[in-house]
């Protein structure tokens, strides 16, 4: 996907601009398992959410050679004096090819233990012309195409890290993740904060994040707003904030759904050695 070009020899050196720099190596995401404890960050107004708790468990694996896998589960218990306790359970599994050109996705959403919107199952591919082709098997068979350059979640993550390494403060791309009923492409705006150097600690840094697996890795504060396709001038559907490490691990989650917001504290982390795959 990306290549590290090394030039040698006097003739080549004379042709190169004096300010030329060696390109940085490609982003390498580490396989890892992470668990986040959820709590209420901001109470709801219109929906009456007064208290919340839950957990996110995710397992990310693979590499640029064999493709990337993600298993994600979020269980959230929302409490309201008006409607009582409400348990939401979202389970997702995805596979993305290493070149970022195709993705298989499957998800289930449950409310109070009952399937809420049915299962979502499908495949998505990016054509050589740059458009997105989606073939849904569930909740009902449907095929559709979306114009404009679109990226899948893992490629989006890589681009955020690349933007942070360049010192960019924003990244705007279309993202397709197969969420909801699998029929929406989102416009996203990512805001990238100043780089936090490796080993820099903050008062809120979890014990897990102070371990040797992350102490030598820099990170960036990230905020991503998701908008309905073509409606980036309106209020976002939802907003996610987190600190993103250069190896793909995240901490300090904030999930803003508009009516209420949750925060996620990193409680456990198992980082595996990266594969020798170099792309």
User: How large is the average pLDDT for residues 48-59?
Assistant: 90
**Is residue 40 over pLDDT 80?**
yes
- Residue 130 is encoded by which pair of tokens? 């740059």
For residues 93 and 65, is the Cβ–Cβ distance under 8 A?
no
User: How large is the average pLDDT for residues 104-111?
Assistant: 90
pLDDT digits (tens, 9 = 90+) for 184-201: 899 999 999 999 998 776
Give residue 107's pLDDT.
Answer: 92
Sort 195 into a burial class: Cβ within 10 Å, 0-12 / 13-18 / 19+.
middle
Reduced to 3 states, what is the DSSP secondary structure of residue 210?
helix
What is the model's pTM?
Answer: 0.85
CA-wise closest residue to 38 among 261, 269, 270: 261
Give residue 176's pLDDT.
Answer: 94
Residue with tokens 């990170």: 219
Residue with tokens 């909801």: 180
- Residue 12 is encoded by which pair of tokens? 């080549």
**Average of per-residue pLDDT values in the chain:** 84
- Given pLDDT bands bounded at 50, 70 and 90, which one contains residue 263? very high
């Amino acid at each position: 996907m990306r290549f590290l070009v090394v030039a040698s020899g006097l003739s080549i050196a004379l042709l190169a601009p004096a300010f030329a720099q060696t390109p940085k190596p490609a982003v390498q995401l580490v396989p890892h398992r992470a668990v986040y404890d959820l709590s209420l960050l901001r109470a709801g107004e219109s929906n009456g959410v007064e208290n919340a708790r839950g957990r996110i468990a995710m397992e990310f694996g693979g590499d640029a050679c064999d493709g990337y896998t993600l298993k994600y589960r979020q269980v959230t218990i929302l409490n309201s004096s008006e409607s009582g306790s409400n348990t939401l359970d979202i389970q997702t599994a995805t596979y993305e090819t290493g070149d970022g050109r195709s993705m298989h996705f499957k998800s289930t959403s449950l409310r109070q233990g009952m399937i809420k919107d049915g299962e979502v199952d499908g495949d998505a591919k990016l054509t050589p012309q740059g458009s997105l082709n989606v073939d849904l098997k569930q909740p009902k068979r449907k095929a559709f195409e979306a114009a404009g350059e679109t990226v899948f979640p893992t490629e989006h993550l890589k681009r955020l890290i690349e933007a942070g390494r360049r010192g960019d403060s924003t990244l705007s791309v279309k993202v397709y993740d197969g969420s909801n009923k699998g029929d929406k492409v989102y416009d996203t705006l990512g805001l990238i904060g100043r780089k936090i150097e490796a080993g820099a600690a903050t008062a809120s840094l979890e014990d897990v994040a102070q371990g040797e697996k992350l102490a030598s890795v820099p990170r960036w504060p990230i905020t991503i707003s998701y908008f309905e396709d073509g409606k980036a001038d309106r209020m976002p559907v939802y907003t996610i904030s987190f600190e993103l490490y250069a190896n793909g691990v995240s901490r300090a989650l904030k999930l803003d759904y508009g009516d209420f917001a949750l925060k996620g504290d990193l409680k456990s982390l198992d980082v595996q050695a990266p594969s020798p795959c170099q792309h």
